[in-house]
Amino acid sequence: MPPRLTGLSAFPITPASPEGTVDAPTLRRLVARLAAAPVDSIGLLGSTGTYAYLARQERLRALEAAVEEVAGRVPILVGVGALRTDEAIALARDANAAGASAGLLAAVSYTPLTEDEVFDHFVAVAEGSGLPLCIYDNPGTTHFRFTPALVGRLSRVPGIVALKSPSPAPSEAAAHLDTLRRAVPDGFPLGYSVDWHAAEALIAGGDAWYGVAAGLFPDSCAEIVAAARSGRADEARRLNGRLEPLWALFREFSSLRVIYAAAEALGLCATAPPRPIQPLSVETRRRVVATLREIGLA
């Protein structure tokens, strides 16, 4: 039975050496915190988990460590994106064999892809791996945007079980969700990323929040999800507003760089993002620490 991907999905970083060797013990500690929170799923090796910068064997090692640590308590959604279809199939097979609950598949590209090419890619990975797949719409990195029509086609493919979509501007959240609902079968989970807009997407009726901040601050993010899902829109907005200083840092410096600095500030791990991405400056890291203290997260 494929997992139903709803609620809060927390995306941790993947601690690794400068050479791309995963620090499995530290990763286990990060996912243990999330399983204990608890969150509804763990999004391993997403963009925050820098999947694109890791070799296949390191991606598998990270997944095996997380699966062993979580021991079935929380579903693990794992990134299986790759430039080549055969590589994505191999990664999805690895994930299936290692015990992942589902795969997160992006339309990774160098040459721009057509909708038919992306559709065929997803069908091949679903059929070739047996791993349930979540559509990962991440145009900021892949430069491909899933149209509602393509999402509708894919949602009817056996083994494709959910959508992770970037949250639109708050004023557009309800209309965006309504358009997607019309395209997919009843009950197909529609979830959102982009942390600073996710609260409005949840209030509009989105099924899941795929959160970067949730990878370090699951309790604060879970409060927003609970408020939105219980119809307490004003409370969800208030809780989200409390995190606005963090969202401002995400927008200014990127959530990836900020969350690495936050993990270090919390004493959870001292690791840098993979080069050529560089850590924040000392001065900016001080701003991150001050912000976390200001909003009660450190």
Task: Read off φ and ψ for residue 234, nearest 5 degrees.
Answer: -60, -40
136 part of the active site: yes
Q: Compute the Cα dihedral for 215, 233, 169, 161 and give only its sign.
A: positive
Nearby residues of 203 by Cβ (< 8 Å), 6 or more positions away: 173, 228, 233, 236, 237
53 part of the active site: no
Half-sphere exposure of 184 (CA within 13 A, CB side): 24
In DSSP terms, 10 is beta-bridged to 42, 211
Which residue is catalytic, options 136, 192, 210, 260? 136
The pTM of the full predicted model, rounded to 2 decimals, is 0.96
* pLDDT value at 1 more than 80: no
pLDDT digits (tens, 9 = 90+) for 228-287: 999 999 999 999 999 999 999 999 999 999 999 999 999 999 999 999 999 999 999 999
Phi-psi region of 187 (alpha: psi -120 to 50; beta: other; left: phi over 0): left
pLDDT digits (tens, 9 = 90+) for 3-53: 889 999 999 999 999 999 999 999 999 999 999 999 999 999 999 999 999
DSSP the chain: ------EEEE-----B-TTS-B-HHHHHHHHHHHHHTT-SEEEETSTTTTGGGS-HHHHHHHHHHHHHHHTTSS-EEEE---SSHHHHHHHHHHHHHHT-SEEEEE---SSPPPHHHHHHHHHHHHHHH---EEEE--HHHH-----HHHHHHHHTSTTEEEEEEE---GGGHHHHHHHHHHHS-TT--EEEE-HHHHHHHHHTT-SEEEESGGGT-HHHHHHHHHHHHTT-HHHHHHHHHHTHHHHHHHHHH-HHHHHHHHHHHTTS----PPTTS-PPPHHHHHHHHHHHHHTT--
Domain ranges for the chain, please list them: 7-231
Q: How many Å apart are CA 255 and CA 139, to the nearest integer?
A: 16
Inter-CA distances, 189 with 53, 165, 181, 198, Å: 28, 11, 9, 15
Band of the pLDDT at 187, cuts 50, 70, 90?
Answer: very high
Q: How many Å apart are CA 58 and CA 65, to the nearest integer?
A: 11
Nearby residues of 130 by Cβ (< 8 Å), 6 or more positions away: 93, 96, 159
Tell the burial category of 272 from Cβ atoms under 10 Å away from its Cβ (0-12, 13-18, 19+): middle
Phi-psi region of 113 (alpha: psi -120 to 50; beta: other; left: phi over 0): beta
Which residue is catalytic, options 164, 192, 210, 260? 164
pLDDT at residue 3, rounded to an integer: 81
pLDDT at residue 2, rounded to an integer: 76
Q: What is the mean pLDDT of the chain?
A: 97
| Helix-helix angle 85-98:56-70, to 10 degrees | 30
Look at the block and give the residue holding tokens 């047996």. 130
Band of the pLDDT at 63, cuts 50, 70, 90?
Answer: very high
Band of the pLDDT at 133, cuts 50, 70, 90?
Answer: very high
CATH superfamily of 7-231: Aldolase class I (3.20.20.70)
